[in-house]
Chains A and B, each alone.
Chain A
Amino acid sequence: MKMNGLNGRLRILSASAAMSLLLMAAPQALAETPKDTLVEAFAIDDIITMDPGEAFELSTAEMTSNTYSLLVRLDPNDTTKVVGDLAESWNVSDDGLTYTFKLKPDMKFASGNPITAEDVAYSFERAVKLDKSPAFILTQFGLNGDNVTEKAKAADASTFVFTVDQPYAPSFVLNCLTATVASVVDKQLVLEHAKPMTPNAEYKYDTDFGNDWLKTGYAGSGAFKLREWRANEVVVLERNDNFYGEPAKLARVIYRHMKESSGQRLALEAGDIDVARNLDPGDLEAVAKNADLATTSAAKGTVYYISLNQKNATLAKPEVREALKYLVDYDAIGATLIKGIGEIHQSFLPKGVLGALDENPYTFDVAKAKELLAKAGLADGFTVTIDVRNTQPVSGIAESFQQTVGQAGVKLEIIPGDGKQTLTKYRARNHDMYIGQWGMDYFDPNSNAETFTANPDNSDEGKNKTLAWRNAWDVPELTEKTKAALLEKDSEKRAGMYKELQQAVLKDGPFIIIHQQTEVAGLRGNVKDFKLGPSFDTNYVSTISKE
C-alpha cells in the first residue's frame, strides 16, 4: 500500500524529470520554427467538431473565423459596429423585418466553387435544421426548420434576403450574424459529402447536411483553409489561395495542443513555438521580462461574477447584497490574482460591447459593509456556502473572498467541485452563492442583458434558465426593459437602455461582478502584427507575419 503511493509519486517525479530534460534538449533538436509557419501553443481540448453549424467552443471560434466567411463581421477597430465580409452592402426594410444583402462579385470558395447567395441560404438552412447548440442565435429571429427556406433565401445569385419575425434593433440582428454559426459553407461540396439519415421523432430530415463530414472536413472560403484537426494534438491551417480578400502573409498556422502554462512558457523560451496562448499571471510576467519575447493582450467578452441565490432568505435582503459588494477586495485581486489576465469591471456588459458601462463604484470597505449588515439585523454575521469550481482564477478569488467577508463576520464555507458538479447544482438553483464566468454567446449587449436581467418565469419550472432565473431574482420590470431594448432601432438610445439595466444590477442585483477577462499571449520577438481581438472569433491570423 505504502509502496503504491511511493511508486505513483516516483513515476510522476521521473516523468517530469524526463520531460524537463527533453525540454532542455529541445533547442538543439529544433532550433526554430520555419519562416512561413506560425506555431501556436493553445489548449484546444475543447474542440469537439469543426462544423461551423455546430461548433460553439472558444478555441473553435478562432479556427472557424479564420477559415470561413460571414456576411458581416465586427469592425476590428470599433466593435460596436459591423462591416461587410461577403456582403458588399445591405439595407433594412422600413418595417424592420426584411434584411437584403448584396454580395461582392467574383468570389470563390477554397474549393474553386463560386460563392453565391444560394450558399448563404443553404448555410442558414443547415444550421437551423441541424439545431445544434449555437442554432438559437439564428432561431431567435423566428426561424425554424419549416420556414427557414422562406425566411432566409436567395433572391438571385448575388442577393440574399433574411426575414425576421419582429422589428428588432438592426444592430442586434447584424451583431448576431457575426456569430460563427452564420458562417457560409460551400453548398456544392457539402452536398457531395452529405450522408443520408433515417428521419425519426427528434430529427426529421433525410440528410445530415454534411455534419459528419464537416466534423473534420472543410468547406469554407476564409483567408486560411483547414488542413487537419487531430483531437488534443494539433490543428493545421493553410493559406487559401482562392481567397477574395487580402491574401494571408503566412503559408501555414499550426496550433499545438499544450495545456499547462509552464509547459507553454518553456517551449516559448526554447523557440519551439512562436506564440503561447494560455499563460498564467506568473508565467506571463516572466515572459514579459524576457528580452527575446513579447506579450500582447486584449479584453474579452467574458465576465467573472459571484451570484447570490435569492431563495436564501439572508442573501435576499437588499442590505446584505450591497454589503457583500463592499466585501470584495477588488484592487488587491486586480493587482495579484488576475494580474494580466483580467481587469476589474463591475457591470455586466464587457468593455467593447455596445452600451457597456465603464464604472466601478464599489471598493473594499469593511466598515461600510458592517454598517449595512447591522442594518439588516446581522451585526454578528452569518454562515453561507459558495460553490466553487476547482480552477483558477475562480478558486483563488473565492479564497480571497472567504478571507475578506470573514473580516465582517460572515463565515463563508467553500464547496469545491468540478465544472459539471457545480454547474448542475447552480442550474438547479440549489446553491447559496456561486462563483463563475459568463461568456457572451454573440457580440451584442442582449446576450448578457438577457441572462442577467431577464427572468420571464421565476417558478422552478421556468423554461428560460437565465442567470437571473438561476438566482431566483424576480424582476418583471427589468425583464420588460430588456425586451424593449431589443426592439429599439436607434443605436444611441439602445445603448442608453443597456446602461440603465447595468445600473440596476450594480445597485441592487444579486450579482457581484468582479472582472472582465483579458486574453493574453506570449510571442517570440520575430512575430509581427499579432493582434488579439475583442472576442474569440476575432483573433485573426491572416495579418501576422514573421521576420
Chain B
Amino acid sequence: MSETTYTPPLTRRDWLLSDRPASRTQARLGRAYVIWRRFSENRLALVGLLILMALLFVAAFADVLAPYSPIQGDLRNGLLPPSAANWFGTDEQGRDILSRLIYGSRLTLLVVGLVAIIAAPVGLLVGTVSGYAGGWVDAILMRITDIFLAFPKLVLALALVAALGPGIENAILAIAVTSWPPYARIARAETMTFRNSDYIAAVKLMGASPFRIVLRHIMPLCMSSLIVRVTLDMAGIILTAAGLGFLGLGAQPPLPEWGAMIASGRRFILDQWWVAAAPGAAILIVSLGFNLLGDGLRDALDPKEAGQ
C-alpha cells in the first residue's frame, strides 16, 4: 500500500514565500516580496511613494503638462491672482506660476538625484573601508568626517557656493560634499558589527582580498540602512537646495527653482501671497513625500525584523 499525499499546486505566492528556495533568484525575489508586503501595509508610506511617482511623472512630461512657458512672461500680466487661465496666478514678471512649478520639479529631481548619486557611494566607500581596515586608516578617515560634521550643513554649503560661484551645478556639488559624512558614519558602524563575524572569517580563509571582502561581502549588507538614510535625507537636500536658491546662490534666473521662487515672492507676501505660497507648498509636499517614503522603507528594510 502506498500512501499518496496530495500536494496542492504551488501558487506564485507560496513560491515566493517558500522557506526552502530552490535558486538564488527565488530567494531574492522572495525577499523583495516580503519587503514589499511590509512596505505596502504602511498606508502613509504608500502616500509617500505616490507623491514621488507623481513628481517623476510631472518632471518627465513637463513639456506636455505645463500650459505656458516657464521663462517667458508679459510684465503687464504680473501678479495676477489664481484664475482659470493661471491656476496658481502669475509672478512679478508675468510668468505662469503653475508652469514654473512643473518645470521646477525637474530641477528638484536633478538636485536630489545627483546629490544621492555623488554622496551615497562616497559615504559608503569611506565608511566601509574605515570600518573594515581600522587602525590609522580608520582614524584618518573618521577625523576628516568629523571635520565635515563640525560645520552646520547649510553654512558649509554656503561657503562652498560662495567660493565656487552661484549656480545650480555648484549648489549640487556643495550639497553633495556636505552630505556624505553621515553615510560614512552609518556604513562604518554597520561594518564594525560584522567585520569579525564567521562568514567574513570564512571568506578570508578562502583567500579573498580585503578589496573583495569590502566590495562583495560588506557593502551589500550596509545598503539597506544606507538607502533608508538617503531617502530620509532627500527632504533635507531639497530644503538645502531651496535655501541656497532662496539666498540667490542656487539656480539662477530665469530657472524656475522653487527656493528662488519663494525668495522673489517674499516681497509680495502681504498682498500677493500665492507667489510665495505655491512653491512653498510644492517644497512641503515633496519633502513630506520623501519623509513618508523613507519612514516606510526603514520599517520594511529593518534587518532586525527581517527574515521571520
Interface residues of A (CB under 8 A from B): 1-2, 4-6, 8-9, 261-262, 265, 280, 282-283, 285-286, 329, 332-333, 335-337, 390, 392, 395-396, 398-400, 402-403, 406, 414-417
Q: Given B93, B182, B252, B269, which contacts A1 in the complex, CB threshold below 8 Å?
A: B182
- CB of B279, distance to nearest CB on chain A (Å): 14
Q: Does residue B154 face the partner (Cβ distance < 8 Å to A)?
A: yes
Q: A4-B152, A282-B271 are in contact. List 4 more A-B contacts (CB 8 A).
A: A4-B153, A5-B236, A333-B75, A399-B254
Bound CA–CA A8/B71 (angstroms) = 30
Shortest beta-carbon distance from B88 to chain A in Å:
18
Q: Which 7 A-B pairs have the closest CB atoms?
A: A2-B236, A332-B75, A5-B239, A1-B153, A336-B75, A390-B248, A399-B253
- Would A400 and B75 count as touching, CB distance under 8 A? yes
Q: Which residues of A contact B252 (CB under 8 A)?
A: 414-416
A395 touches B92 (CB 8 A): no
Given A262-B270, A282-B267, A286-B271, the answer on whether A4 and B166 have CB atoms closer than 8 Å is: no
CA distance A398 to B215 in the complex (A): 51
Chain B, range 195-240, C-beta contacts under 8 Å to A? 232-233, 235-236, 239-240
Known contacts A1-B179, A1-B182, A6-B239; is A396 also within 8 Å of B92 by CB?
yes
Q: Does B243 contact A (CB under 8 A)?
A: yes
**CB closest chain-B residue, reference A332:** B75
Quick check: is B272 within 8 A (CB to CB) of the other chain? yes
Judged by DSSP, the binding face of A is helix
A416-B248 CB under 8 A given contacts A4-B153, A5-B153: yes
Q: Which residues of B contact A337 (CB under 8 A)?
A: 75, 92
Complex-state Cα separation, A333 to B93, whole angstroms: 10
Contacts of A8 in B (CB 8 A): 154, 243
Q: Is B81 in contact with chain A by the CB < 8 A criterion? A: no
CA distance A414 to B251 in the complex (A): 11
Chain B residues near A6: list those with CB within 8 A: 239
Contact of B272 among A282, A335, A396 (CB under 8 A): A282
Q: Are A332 and B239 in contact (CB under 8 A)?
A: no
Chain A: which residue is nearest B239 at the CB level? Answer: A5
Contacting pair A403 B78 (CB below 8 A): no
* Closest Cβ–Cβ distance, residue B225 to chain A (whole Å): 16
The count of chain B contact residues (Cβ–Cβ below 8 Å) is 34
Report if B20 contacts A (CB, 8 A).
Answer: no
Chain B residues, CB < 8 A from A265: 270
Which of B78, B153, B253, B270 sits near A402, CB closer than 8 Å? B253
The contact sample of 13 A-B pairs, CB cut-off 8 A, is: A1-B233, A2-B233, A2-B236, A4-B153, A5-B240, A9-B239, A282-B270, A329-B75, A337-B75, A398-B253, A403-B254, A406-B72, A416-B248
- Which residues of chain A are within 8 angstroms of B78 by Cβ–Cβ distance? 336
Partner of A5, one of B76, B154, B268: B154
Chain B residue numbers with a CB within 8 Å of A402 are 253-254
B-side contacts of A392, CB under 8 Å: 267
Q: Nearest chain-B residue to A333 (Cβ)?
A: B75
CA distance A403 to B94 in the complex (A): 11
A400 to B165, CA, bound (A): 23
B271 smallest CB distance to A (angstroms): 5
> B73 contacts the other chain (Cβ, under 8 Å)?
yes
Shortest B239–chain A CB gap in Å is 4
B141 to chain A, nearest CB (A): 19
Return B272 CB to nearest CB of chain A, in Å: 7
Q: How far is the CA of A395 from the CA of B269 in the complex (A)?
A: 18
Judged by a CB distance under 8 angstroms, whether B146 is at the interface is no
Interface string of B117-154 (1 = CB under 8 A from A): 00000000000000000000000000000000000111
Q: Which residues of A contact B236 (CB under 8 A)?
A: 1-2, 5
Bound Cα distance A395, B239 (Å): 24
Docked complex Cα distance between A336 and B71 (Å): 18
Closest to A390 in B: B248
Q: Chain A residues near B269 (CB, 8 Å)? A: 262
Q: Which of B151-194 contact A (CB under 8 A)?
A: 152-154, 166, 179, 182
Residue of A nearest to B240 (CB): A5
A1 contacts which chain B residues (CB < 8 A)?
Answer: 153, 179, 182, 233, 236
Minimum CB–CB distance for B169 against chain A, Å: 14
Contact of A4 among B74, B76, B154, B254 (CB under 8 A): B154
User: Which one of A9, A398, A403, A416 lies within 8 Å of B71 (CB-CB)?
Assistant: A403
Nearest neighbor of A412 in chain B, beta-carbon distance: B254
Q: Is the CB of A335 within 8 A of B154?
A: no
Task: Give B78's nearest chain A residue, CB to CB.
Answer: A336
Tell whether, in the assembled complex, residue A403 and residue B73 are in contact, meaning their CB atoms are under 8 Å apart. Answer: yes
Contact indicator A399/B267 (Cβ below 8 Å): no
Q: Report the Cα distance A8→B233, complex, angstroms.
A: 16
Query: Whole-angstrom distance between the alpha carbons of A540 and B242 in the complex?
Result: 44
The answer to whether A396 and B93 have CB atoms under 8 Å apart is yes
Docked-complex contact B248 and A332, CB < 8 angstroms: no
Give the contacting residue for A332; candidates B74, B153, B179, B240; CB below 8 A: B74
Q: What chain A residues lie within 8 Å of B153 (beta carbons)? A: 1, 4-5
Q: Hey, what's the 0/1 contact readout for B242-262 against A, CB within 8 Å counting as 1?
A: 010000100011100000000
Across-interface contacts of A332 in B (CB, < 8 A): 74-76
CA distance A6 to B270 in the complex (A): 23
- Residues 92-121 of B, flagged 1 when their CB comes within 8 A of A and 0 if not, give 111000000000000000000000000000
Q: What is the CB-to-nearest-CB distance from A368 to chain B, in angstroms, rounded to a whole number? A: 19
A12 CB, nearest partner CB in chain B, Å = 11
Would you give the shortest CB distance from B171 to chain A, in whole angstroms? Answer: 13
Contacts of B268 in A (CB 8 A): 282
Closest B residue to A416 by beta carbon equals B248
Centre residue among B92, B154, B233 by max chain A CB count within 10 A? B92
